[in-house]
Amino acid sequence: MEDLETAEPATDAERVERGPRRLSLVAGVAIVVIAVDQFTKWLAVRDLTDRPVHLLWTFQLNLLRNTGAAFSMGNGKGVGPWISVLALFVVAGLSFGYTSRLKLGAVATGLIAGGAIGNLLDRAFRGDAGFMGGAVIDFIDAKWWPVFNIADASIVVGALLLAAAALRAERIA
């Protein structure tokens, strides 16, 4: 008689459900996002302090320091650091969730994690107000959208990919 634990899963849903979580992929994507985000913020602080740099159409590089939450909401209210910490708890939950067994879900989770950690690093270490008293460095300015950074873009793209992964996982199940 065949052992049920060692038998090959019969369906895609069983393969995904039993498959390993892709935590190394989550971590790898997050590390790349953090590195690119922090490097571009370092360049922005170094090169954009005096003036914005026009790129194309309405796009420019313009240095801003965001002490609020996403898109500068909640400036001066002290909510920014707590949003970042909350995001890390959400990422931890996603990392151990069903979608982290799919490559798309793992990449999405890595993008969200890297973006959240990148912005949290800014809040922790980029300021004179002590630990977690710093501001997030924003520098990508379309003029018709709030100024953002690589971490913000990674979080948004990751959220969209996570929704696609969730729909795919639902379709498989």
Paired residues of 140 in beta bridges: 61, 148
Q: How far apart are CA 79 and CA 71, in angstroms?
A: 13
141 is catalytic: no
Q: Tell me whether residue 122 is one of the annotated catalytic residues.
A: no
CA distance 16 to 68: 39
The label of the residue with tokens 């520098």 reads 139
For residue 4, give Cα distances in angstroms to 7, 8, 20, 101: 5, 8, 18, 21
Tokens of 148: 């953002």
Catalytic residue among 37, 122, 138, 141: 138
HSE-CB of 127 using CA atoms within 13 angstroms:
19
Which entry of 37, 122, 141, 152 is annotated as an active-site residue? Answer: 152
- Catalytic residues, by residue number, are 138, 152
